[in-house]
Amino acid sequence: MKRMPLTCYFILLLAPFARPELTVAGDQPSDFTRPHFQVARPLINNKIQPDRAMHAGLSTSANEDWILPVRSSRLSPGQITPRALNMPGLRPFFLVGDDPQSLTWLRQRAAELQEMGAAGLAVEVADNEALARIRAAAPSISILPVNGNDIATRLQIEHYPVLITATSLEQ
C-alpha cells in the first residue's frame, strides 16, 4: 500500500525536470497551438457535421442502473418566473423530472426542443421505468439522468420543468 504514494511523490519530484521550458498558449492561435485547439466535429458518412450540440449522439441504451435513482434536493416541480440570461454560446438544455407536470410539458414542447437541439437532463428520476417514461415523452431527444443541484445553485432556480438558453430561462 505504501509503494503507491512513494511512487507518486517520486513522479512529482521528477516532473519539473521532464520538460523544463514553459510554453504558454496565447489568445491568438499560432502554428504551435493550432493543432491542439482545433474544434473537433465528428465525421458521419465522411461529412463534417454542422455546428450542433454534441449530445445528440449520446447513447441511451447503456445500463443506467448505477446512477439511479437521481434526486436533486434543490429542485422540485413547480412554476418558474421567466427571465433573461446573458450566456453567449450556451447550448439550449432543459430540466425535467418524472412528475406529471414535467411529462406534460415535455410532450407539449418536444418538437420545439428537438428543433433547437436542446439537451435533456432528468433531475428527478426514481428508477429505469421513470426514465423510460420521460424519454417516451420526447423520443427523438437525448435525455440523461443527472443531479441538478449545481445547475439550480448557479442559475438560482428552484423548480422544473425549465428551458435554459443563452438568452432566457423559461417554462
On whether the CB atoms of residues 120 and 148 are closer than 8 A, the answer is no
Q: What is the 3-state secondary structure (H, E, C) of the chain?
A: CCHHHHHHHHHHHHHHHHCCCCCCCCCCCCCCCHHHCCCCCCEECCEECCCCCHHHHCCCCCCCCCCCCECCCCCEECCCCCEECCCCCCCCEEEEECCHHHHHHHHHHHHHHHHHCCEEEEEEECCHHHHHHHHHHCCCCCEEECCCHHHHHHHCCCEECEEECCCEEEC
pLDDT for the residue 100 = 97
Residues 10 and 61 placed together within one structural domain of the fold: no
Domain CATH for 104: 3.40.30
Residue 118: give the domain boundaries.
50-170
Residues 109 and 65 placed together within one structural domain of the fold: yes
Going residue by residue through the chain (171 aa), what tens digit of pLDDT does each one get?
A: 455 555 555 565 555 555 555 555 555 555 544 554 444 445 555 544 444 444 444 444 457 778 899 999 999 999 999 999 999 999 999 999 999 999 999 999 999 999 999 999 999 999 999 999 999 999 999 999 999 999 999 999 999 999 999 999 999
pLDDT for the residue 54 = 44
On whether the CB atoms of residues 107 and 135 are closer than 8 A, the answer is no
pLDDT for the residue 64 = 78
Residues 36 and 67 placed together within one structural domain of the fold: no
Residues 75 and 125 placed together within one structural domain of the fold: yes
Compute the C-alpha angle 118/119/125, nearest 5°. Answer: 135
| pTM across the whole model | 0.65
CA torsion 43-51-62-104 (nearest 10°) is: -150
Residues 68 and 20 placed together within one structural domain of the fold: no
pLDDT for the residue 25 = 52
Q: Which residues lie closer than 8 Å to 160 by C-beta, 6 or more apart?
A: 75, 76, 77, 78, 80, 95, 96, 97, 102, 123, 124, 148
Number of domains in the chain: 2
pLDDT for the residue 67 = 87
Residue 112 zone, left/alpha/beta (φ > 0; ψ -120 to 50; rest)? alpha
